Structure 1
């Protein structure tokens, strides 16, 4: 019924529409188009946008009165002054045919037909056929006698039907015209009466007439005859029909000018007017969209009707109350519902009420049950009754007293009926034989019970408010407690047993499964509204349906089977139905709160009516929504969409508007998007239809967006927009290259400046040291050497005059020879102090001289190696390096007892390095003996030239002395090193 459909309305008072709508159509891309006095609007389910043709094209300024979404994905637009065609982003006008386009229709072969009026002096006729951009009209010369056409329809044979003032005509595919006038005299002198035509698959035509009266209103024309509709209690001639429409299911929708709309479905007539929520009783047009929704254009807005997955029966369907306390289905297919208003039985779509006898006290109907013999048991707030042949027979205790209000009932496999009764302190459990109706208290004490269900083998299961679960069996002599468990979790709400015997116990903390003497607890998500359950049941396919605060959820059979092996609640294929699917989120206290009828339908008792769904036919939306990028804004400026949009340099704030065309429930349309070149992955946008980006770097980007419809079906292809952010002049590659060169030039200049400063500092220090050394050399020459030379001369004179033995004389001569050598050595050191001699020698030559002086005849055990290309060394650094080398060689010669000494000189681009290694005795490098200043002196000399000295030695493992000097402090020509660096970079 229409009252069970989802209905939405957009009224003029809401401000979304600025003028009354007059026409509606949907193009194959999914957009819905609305014609109105103010022009053309495009609707995406959320927003109405005034549509304008692109710049440079013809403009649409006239009121729109008719629309057609054609098979070729184009839109035909009829206005009060002519025809327009929007196709492939181009608006085409037909200026030669200035008239009112009242109706547009399309044949199965794609031919477009027009019905036009207000022709004025145009005698080309009211019926026109469009081929490409050519229009051919048929008038009196072609057998069309009408001055104007008001309605069109194309039948299955390809014939075109047109309505006029008081007649309709049929234009067959071979060009034959047949005219069928109406016999009503009321139409004489009136304006065009035929307001609409709808072709019937049987070959007839439904004719809508804008006036009421005998033979008017809604007529059916077939085989040359008009007839009124033959539906009981429906007077179609009293209607002022404005529009008709035949939907995909075969139902006929009829719109009137003053009485809302009607739907004719077989012999069923359903009426819907402004009293029911229609935006206006003046209906102009119907349209069924691609998703099956039915749209209605009225004088005051737009309405939409949608069939729901969940159907509700309420007061509107003649139930006694909307608050249903319990529901069960009987063997004969009828559905029983209990409420505070009484008992209702729904059978074959008809609701009947069960009359309650006057002697039955109480108003609150509670739990209910049909046993295996087909007997119906009804609980009221004063007791429990068997309903049989219109009579209510009470169930009492042996004392004759009623058992009190009943929360829950169940019949065990042995036929015994168990019930949980209130009003006995802690909720007492009773059982009785249906034949005697004498209730006995259960022999096992359990507190605060509120649920009882049958076990598939024997006995029953009970559930307490405190969460305690127990299995009870009625024995010959006493009731037996077979099993008892208190599952983890709080606020236990429902208990259900599967066909295999597994128990499913829902709580706000999760789900407990009981199988035999074993149980498992599967924790859920804390605070999940779906864990606040009201009722649950299995369908024929083994899927579990659970009614909860979040709606009705279907857990697939494969998920249910995997729960026993799972560690937590997992759902691979859940289906959740909510308010947009017709679900009323609430649940009763009593049982059964859900039942399954013989045809497989599920019935739920709620506080908002009796609800039902067919698990095999949920009317789900299987159409992936078309997705579009609608607008691109950069810094609040709109850019036309193209294959590649070019955005100007320094575009700062970017906004991309997108949409998905799914109309049943736009609030359940969810989006994901990503910007290739910026985003790492998909962004979940929820229902938001805009994406924002700021300060994008210059380059190419691709924006992609996908969406799902209200049933969770995703359009994985989605839509894409490619754009490029142009670089500013300072972001161009050539500018960046020049900037890099400039930075390199600055760094090079700074480096050379640094080298120059170091050279200057070293030259100054060397000059100061040479001055000091020359002073020392003069002092040594004038004092020590002169005194020693005088001493040698005196001893020599003495030895020549004194009379001594030959042995003493020889000893004196050896001493004098040694003194001469000391004098020569002293003069050499003075010459070195003055910096005279040796400057022209290479470093290797100087090292070779040192080795010869120190090792003498043992020079052969010293081996030289050289790495790199030899370069001139700063005099200051050269002298210190030679002194360090001299000390290291002396130690190797006189103290290490080495068999082999290796001298390695390395000329690297970034440093100069000399290493002296021996395989002698070695020593503890961490402890320098007192009085030995060799290593200390080497370190001081290294520090003077900013070098790094490293001494490695260990007893029995030889010694290695390594000096490393940075290139700018070691080499005289660092610029050559820099040039070699550049050469290496180029290659």
Structure 2
């Protein structure tokens, strides 16, 4: 029996490491490494219960929530929070004493209910249709209506309950340590259906710790050292003794069915398992200290399956199986492991006629067998010593089962199985024997390299022709049967009769050409040093650079797939260019790519349709169909809103928000709140390759450059109306920014002295001032005109007074002489009198002028 169990456990371990976990740790932002529970809300956000409280995770960052202040936590059970999600995807939390509910619009947890001090909550079921919660406690079943605030207890159900689980629309399973009962939610009594005496007897021998019900209403129960299953009406439990042996002496902490009919269960100390309904093991998840992608510490106290069928585990940290991880397979050198790459510096790659993958390194050739598991090694020195320098700089298929090998300064070799022959005419080690590229055309072998001339050798006769072209790094043939050669000096075409057409690198500004790829439509695609991706067609070069979406302008390799894409290896990851749509999608470490910086010459398209690229850290192998077809649906959320770099969360003082920032459509700000920050994130657990761009309508004319940055800052905003628009994209050629956009309206009010009413008052005041000034001017002008008139009359009066005096004086003398007749005398008296009267009037005018000027 023991040997059988040993074999079984070995098989389980082997199965267990077939899938890799993505682990979230304290170093990633998790608040504590001890975790208790997992849930997901309607927005797709993940919630984790830890020893420090509650964390919300969006795929790139965390937000922490405390249910209590530090001085309120006086009981250990207050830290062991469990989640429950109702039919509306609302998050409920219970610990040993209290129940809380998460309010989305307010972005906070509100207290709902507490049990008596001497009681303990073990489980919770939310009946949101009837606004009630059911609690499994140490003192039996409790119902609480959170609308009416009414609490109901059940006399016949006062024993210790350890779990609740919905059986059907009207029936709730009540589990204690030793039995299972059926509770009718409508009548609030024990249901008529109960288990058979034999089944009850078998369950009574266990110490139950967990249970669940699958879609076929099959009940699974976990206990210490055992997992069992049955259906109502069965007479006995179904169990798996071999499986039970692997989980002996530990409790089954969680059991959960998936949508495909499988069952997951976890333990605290002996890993997690995926089984079928007959309890046959489909997969085991155990700790492997040599594998960072294994389940940490063999702990799985809670299991959760999210909307995309990813399986999450809580216990030690948080782990999940990423079923949508992009399928880039990385092979590297492993220290002290001969069944791995001999060295990580890759110089060339080719597949042979048997389907084996040849990888040229700085220390010989590693050959990955067709099974993609086993490696063999050889070098051109025909020795097993893996430490000697043997730079394999070029590889190509030969005739039959041979592979032609180009080396650094040691010419060309032909390898057929264990037979190695040096076929270069020059045998000595010299720079003249440097080979960076090979092209076999019938019996003619073309080869070239840095610092040497392009040559062609007839493999039958050994005759070598040298061409006046040097520094060739890539060779290929086009549809016109021309040899296309790219290198440091540009692009060359060698036609019939060995005619040469050259496009000089300096003249045409195309830089050094590292790779050439002719296509059937007579287009030739070039990878350059510093000039990006170049398309050559009908004598015209068209460049695509980082401005068009490339991650780098230095391209080392180009391969085409069957989907109309070009795959480019660069110094900053891998890029996929869709020729028809003219769009780039870049892949980096965040996408699961094992290599960031690639090497020139190290690329190959193999017979399986897979593409292989190499760099300074090994090789990657992938099928383009697996990458491009991956559809990662994401949703953007606003995670925070800041004013002058301080959070203005809904729960902070003096916040302008009326709802949580992610629920907000419009923000009203004061004029002195004009330095703002938007934090946002794309909810995505498949990879970290989220790209964002944003624009503030009313200020920005162009979109910001696409980047992984997920915060937008604006300062010194003027009062007015704005629209903040943010777009996001993720893996796959089909991911376009325009398809994913969220908009948030912002209004910054003007200060009271800059409002419309203020401007109206300023206008009225200005009009009044202008009117008064004009009025005053006119009054002054009128007075001036009046004075001018008076002066005019006074001047005339002065002019009249002198002759008047001259008239009066003779009259006075004539009257005194009395020499005239009486009639004449009367006339003179009348004239003198009128003259005096006129003189009096003149004096009055002069007195008026004096008084006016004095005034």
Which moved further from structure 2: 580-589 or 718-727?
Answer: 718-727
**Separation (CA, whole Å) in 1 of partners of 2:597 and 2:765:** 74
Instruction: Say if 2:454 and 2:466, in contact at 8 Å, map to a contact too.
Output: no
In the other structure, the counterpart of 1:391 is 418
Give the alignment of 1:275-314 within 5 angstroms: 275-277=290-292, 280-281=296-297, 282-290=299-307, 295-300=312-317, 305=322, 307-314=324-331
Q: Quick one: structure 1 residues 293 and 303, their matched pair in 2 at CA, closer, same or farther if it must change by over 3 Å?
A: closer
**Separation (CA, whole Å) in 1 of partners of 2:351 and 2:258:** 33
In the other structure, the counterpart of 2:161 is 148
**Separation (CA, whole Å) in 2 of partners of 1:205 and 1:392:** 64
Q: Quick one: structure 1 residues 202 and 196, their matched pair in 2 at CA, closer, same or farther if it must change by over 3 Å?
A: closer
Please, which runs of 5 or more residues in structure 2 have no aligned partner? 1-15, 186-190, 649-653, 807-855
Instruction: Say if 1:417 and 1:432, in contact at 8 Å, map to a contact too.
Output: yes
Computing the radius of gyration from Cα coordinates, the structure with the larger value is: 1
Q: Quick one: structure 1 residues 692 and 509, their matched pair in 2 at CA, closer, same or farther if it must change by over 3 Å?
A: closer
Give the alignment of 1:714-733 within 5 angstroms: 714=737, 716=740, 718-720=742-744, 725=749, 728=752
Instruction: Say if 2:693 and 2:726, in contact at 8 Å, map to a contact too.
Output: yes
Give the alignment of 1:946-965 within 5 angstroms: none
In the other structure, the counterpart of 1:410 is 439
Secondary structure of the residue aligned to 1:276 is coil
> CA shift at 1:740, angstroms?
3.8
In the other structure, the counterpart of 2:447 is 419
**Separation (CA, whole Å) in 2 of partners of 1:378 and 1:210:** 62
Query: Given the alignment of the two structures, is residue 368 of structure 1 paired with residue 405 of structure 2, yes or no?
Result: no
Query: Given the alignment of the two structures, is residue 614 of structure 1 paired with residue 632 of structure 2, yes or no?
Result: no
> CA shift at 1:25, angstroms?
1.1
In the other structure, the counterpart of 1:492 is 513
Give the alignment of 1:107-506 within 5 angstroms: 119-120=137-138, 122-124=139-141, 147-149=160-162, 165=177, 176-178=193-195, 194=209, 199=214, 211=225, 216=226, 224-227=237-240, 242-243=253-254, 256-258=267-269, 271-273=286-288, 275-277=290-292, 280-281=296-297, 282-290=299-307, 295-300=312-317, 305=322, 307-315=324-332, 319-320=340-341, 321-329=343-351, 335-339=357-361, 340=363, 342-348=365-371, 350-353=373-376, 359-360=382-383, 363-371=390-398, 373=400, 375-379=402-406, 384-388=412-416, 390-397=417-424, 406-412=435-441, 414=442, 416-420=444-448, 426=452, 429-433=455-459, 439-458=462-481, 460-471=483-494, 480-487=498-505, 488=508, 489-506=510-527
Q: Quick one: structure 1 residues 589 and 45, their matched pair in 2 at CA, closer, same or farther if it must change by over 3 Å?
A: closer
Instruction: Say if 1:5 and 1:307, in contact at 8 Å, map to a contact too.
Output: no
Instruction: Say if 1:309 and 1:613, in contact at 8 Å, map to a contact too.
Output: no
**Separation (CA, whole Å) in 2 of partners of 1:237 and 1:260:** 12
> CA shift at 1:467, angstroms?
2.4
> CA shift at 1:553, angstroms?
1.7
> CA shift at 1:540, angstroms?
0.6
Secondary structure of the residue aligned to 2:772 is helix
Q: Between the two structures, name the one with larger relative contact order (CA 8 Å, sep ≥ 6).
A: 2
**Separation (CA, whole Å) in 2 of partners of 1:175 and 1:246:** 26
Secondary structure of the residue aligned to 2:768 is helix
Deviations 1:868-906 (A, max 9, x none): xxxxxxxxxxxxxxxxxxxxxxxxxxxxxxxxxxxxxxx
Deviations 1:458-494 (A, max 9, x none): 3532223322423256xxxxx7235333242223221
Instruction: Say if 2:328 and 2:620, in contact at 8 Å, map to a contact too.
Output: yes
In the other structure, the counterpart of 2:13 is none
**RMSD across aligned positions (CA):** 5.5
In the other structure, the counterpart of 1:668 is 690
In the other structure, the counterpart of 1:953 is none
Give the alignment of 1:794-873 within 5 angstroms: none
> CA shift at 1:367, angstroms?
2.7
**Separation (CA, whole Å) in 2 of partners of 1:280 and 1:290:** 23
Residue in structure 1 matching 2:41, options 19, 27, 32: 27
> CA shift at 1:763, angstroms?
3.6
Q: Normalising by the residue count of structure 1, what TM-score does the alignment of the two structures yield?
A: 0.61
In the other structure, the counterpart of 1:17 is 31
Q: Quick one: structure 1 residues 658 and 480, their matched pair in 2 at CA, closer, same or farther if it must change by over 3 Å?
A: closer
Deviations 1:584-606 (A, max 9, x none): 22223445x131443x3322223
Q: Normalising by the residue count of structure 2, what TM-score does the alignment of the two structures yield?
A: 0.69
**Separation (CA, whole Å) in 2 of partners of 1:543 and 1:588:** 20
**Separation (CA, whole Å) in 2 of partners of 1:453 and 1:387:** 22
| Count of residues paired in the alignment | 730
Give the alignment of 1:463-612 within 5 angstroms: 463-471=486-494, 480-487=498-505, 488=508, 489-507=510-528, 508-515=530-537, 518-522=539-543, 524=545, 530-558=552-580, 571=582, 573-583=583-593, 584-591=595-602, 593-598=603-608, 600-612=609-621
Instruction: Say if 1:21 and 1:35, in contact at 8 Å, map to a contact too.
Output: yes
Instruction: Say if 1:707 and 1:716, in contact at 8 Å, map to a contact too.
Output: yes
Secondary structure of the residue aligned to 2:44 is coil
Q: Quick one: structure 1 residues 694 and 40, their matched pair in 2 at CA, closer, same or farther if it must change by over 3 Å?
A: same
Deviations 1:898-932 (A, max 9, x none): xxxxxxxxxxxxxxxxxxxxxxxxxxxxxxxxxxx
**Separation (CA, whole Å) in 2 of partners of 1:680 and 1:481:** 55
Secondary structure of the residue aligned to 1:749 is helix
Instruction: Say if 1:632 and 1:656, in contact at 8 Å, map to a contact too.
Output: yes
Secondary structure of the residue aligned to 1:68 is strand
Deviations 1:230-274 (A, max 9, x none): 89xx96669876556666788876655346667889967665556
> CA shift at 1:175, angstroms?
6.4
> CA shift at 1:27, angstroms?
0.4
**Separation (CA, whole Å) in 1 of partners of 2:551 and 2:636:** 32
Secondary structure of the residue aligned to 1:752 is helix
